[in-house]
Chain A
Amino acid sequence: MMKVLILGATGHVGNRLCKYLSQHKYQVIAASRGRLKTPIHDHIILDTLNFEAMRTALTQVDAVVNCVAGDKYSIGQGAEILANAAKAAGNPMIIHLSTMSVYGGNEGNVTENTPFDPSYGWYAAAKCEAESHMQTYADAGGRVISFRPGCVHGPGSHLWVSRPAQLLKSYRLGDLGDAGDGWSNLVHVDDVVRAIKIGLEISLQPGEHKKYNLAAPDSPRWNQYLFDIASSIGATPIKRISRLQLKLDSKLWSPAIKVCQIVSRKMGLKVSFLPEPLPPSLVKLFDQHIFLNSDEFSKAHLFSYTTYTDSLNDSIQWLKSQL
């Protein structure tokens, strides 16, 4: 039985991955930096920035899946420590969850060979750095698969399901016209999870680093996705939103909300009464004509994605269960 350590096990992908792998005869050690609200079987608390702790944990497993999210240090330095600790622990295989953000502002048909663009923002920079540490690990004889998913939606996705739903309900998103013409590059969380399991089964040579984009090829443009969410939650008729409104919301109103959130948290208050901020990066993404080409993984491993309709239904069902 293959023994797998999952870092970031309480996150959106990590959480579903733990359950899925456990059901499929993997021995899973779920690790996260904090305590859990709901207990997970075989859970450990692990500081991914602590080299010694990481090395100890890694010596016990055949593979590690890196689903860590967080600030730029947890992502960038975390990956460096992971690579070094893994090397010291006898080179277990690493499955690294990267992102399409590594391509930054690239547009058009983006394949795994498209150059990185770390200048696009702190997140892109951190994720590019993380992948470079993975490369270093491979160069030193390690085995790595980096998955670069698009927007991971489906059950449990705040970013791509409940957040847009809230913004649609308050008519701060809607029909964005040409500002919503970018591809959504959606991928169902369970597709990511299935891809990771396939990744664990690929036999790599020492020194190999495979990179795969993950996005459902039938993902619509953002306008369509936003309308589909709006209509399923009754946030209709949707409004035509101008570029000016998006700009004012993301650059003036949302930063104010963000400040209130931070202050409220510091004061120990709940932030759920505050409206959802609309970050400028999201507005930029809706307008970015990037088509994340996922052919390579689909072809190499006969992988078929959940259809857009089914993914949407899953997302909506989850959304409704949250209300």
Chain B
Amino acid sequence: MIKNIVEIPSGTMLDVDVCIVGAGAAGIATALSLSGRGLNILLLESGLEHFNQQTQNLYQGSLTDANLHSPPDKYRHRRFGGSTAIWGGRCMPFDPIDFEQRDHIPFSGWPIVYNDLHPYFVLANRFLEAGTYEYDADKVFGAEAKPLFKGFKSDRLFTNNMERFSCPTNVGLRYHRRLQDAKDIQLILGANVTGIRLDANATTVSHLNVASLEQHTFNVKAKKIVLATGGIEVARLLLASNDVCPSGISNKHDVVGRYYQCHIAGNLGKLTIFGNPNSVRHGYEVSPEGIYCRRRLALDAATQRKAKVGNLVARLHFPKIVDPSHKIGVLSGLFLAKNFISYEYGKRLKDGQATLSTYLHHFKNILFDPIDTYLFLYRWLTKRTLAQRKFPSVILNNKNNQFTLEIHSEQIPNPDSRITLITEKDTLGMPKVNIDWRYLPEDIQSVEKTLDVFVEEFQKSGVGVFEFNKAQLEEDLTRFGAYGGHHIGTARMGNDPTTSVVDQHCKVHDLDNLYIASSAVFPTSSQANPTLTIVALSLRLADHLAQTVGAKAQAQHLTI
């Protein structure tokens, strides 16, 4: 059932089996998976069913370098459904190599392997409405389907791996009914956790403090507690709860908030494919379940190991939008509309200084390219604005077989890249965060080495040429700073408490009843966007929790 915090009498102590903090992708997946197993589940959500600016303001904080990271209240929403209210829907699993300890990636290695997560990836894929769990384009569309590049063959650079797109599903809207109907789930909106209170020995969480913006407060006692907030908020909650442990919860070794990772991303280089534009599979394909899918370029695991590089994917992209010399009306239209697009989606359109002449040239592009612009607008309206399953992004007609590559790369875990608390407090009295995101020269070198392989493999294949400017690579990859919305590594998973915060079951090392379901626990960042893996880890955690408290196993088709 769904309640508002005012329905809970102030000063109450709720006593439940499992308390989950945060009703976003992780929290809702955990709660629904636990449902029907004879447990009493409490799900606390700070936000309301709709966006509320005052609640969102609780996410405000500071930045060490505003050029490198977006403000803390951007790319994440504090509301029922969490950031799935604004996400782009891109789904892909972490690769087996991401879980490995790799000597060329310091601090890499998970205490679990890909196969531990595989069954949960299958369910997570369904939960996020991304169709069947299959990410090999040859298997989804058949080996005879048109490939990314006709005639391209390589044993190092592969083009058959793909990403799938969720609707994008807002899990708050999609699973509202199920949460409302579940007799064993109590979802309380407007409920902010303001403290994780430990017993005197600091071995167990004794209770949580909960407060509304209107200072309506209550406490929660639970056998098991799951922090299912985002990567930044997990660190904040652990660090701010410092009454028993002065350095914060499970932070004896000063790991909480460190190793903060996003992704290294940029649109760069020049890929020219020879011959007819038909020889390139550009844009989206639709799988039998109606899912938009897109092929990508990536090195296989053996090549990554040999070249000593991190994991990276590249997608075909079009020229830089800001520069009107592309003469494409649609892109110019996007450029001119950039101020009407939300911060999260407009950010990468705001590139460099635009002069009056730039604007005039963009107007000219639209005037001279009216048919494509009109067709684009029509398609955008019918396939995106009015559609329930949304066309994922702007795709232009490929006229000249020239592309740039959109790079999305893993970054090396770095203890100096971190989230810390500042003295300034939010309206609930919780200290705000500072984000000091950093990247290393090795991150740029890793992309460079990977792209060197791209260059060689295109040359060998004879289907085209790829070039990129090494001198400009760092600038290209950091022009917009960290890729927005992927907040990873601040409470990493590991066997060694000196370099990690949670164990392989997502349980905080120092405590026996506190768990974390969040991208905060990812030790490394992979090439993949985090949402699918967040949900998979949450579903795995739910099974583990149910086992530990002696609840019955769930026939999985019943919940997710």
Contacts and interface: CB of A to CB of B under 8 A. Distances in A.
State whether these chains interact.
yes
Interface of A: 107-108, 174-175, 177-178, 181, 217-218, 220, 224, 227, 230-231, 236-242, 289
Given A237-B286, A237-B289, A289 B178 contact: yes
B113 interface: no
B118 interface: no
Interface of B: 129, 167, 173-178, 181, 183, 286-291, 387-389, 555, 557
Contact of B288 (A217, A220, A238, A240): A238
Contacts of B555: 217-218
Nearest to A224: B557
A177 B557 contact: no
Contact of A231 (B167, B178, B183, B288): B288
B389 A240 contact: yes
30 contacts: A108-B181, A108-B183, A174-B290, A175-B289, A175-B290, A177-B167, A177-B174, A177-B388, A178-B174, A178-B175, A178-B176, A178-B177, A181-B178, A218-B555, A231-B288, A231-B289, A236-B288, A236-B290, A237-B286, A237-B287, A237-B289, A237-B291, A238-B290, A239-B290, A240-B290, A240-B388, A240-B389, A289-B177, A289-B178, A289-B181
Contact of B167 (A224, A236, A240): A240
Contacts of B387: 240
A133 to B, nearest CB: 33
Contact of A237 (B181, B290, B557): B290
A167 to B, nearest CB: 15
B287 A178 contact: no
B179 to A, nearest CB: 11
Given A237-B286, A237-B289, 9 more contacts: A177-B167, A178-B174, A218-B555, A220-B557, A224-B557, A231-B288, A237-B291, A240-B389, A241-B388
A238 B387 CA distance: 14
A186 to B, nearest CB: 13
Contacts of B183: 108
Contacts of A107: 181
A306 to B, nearest CB: 16
Nearest to B390: A240
Contacts of A239: 290
A174 B178 CA distance: 21
A294 B175 CA distance: 25
* Max count, chain A CB within 10 A of own CB: residue among B173, B175, B389: B389
Contacts of B286: 237
B458 to A, nearest CB: 31
A108 B129 CA distance: 23
Contacts of B291: 237
A242 B167 CA distance: 12
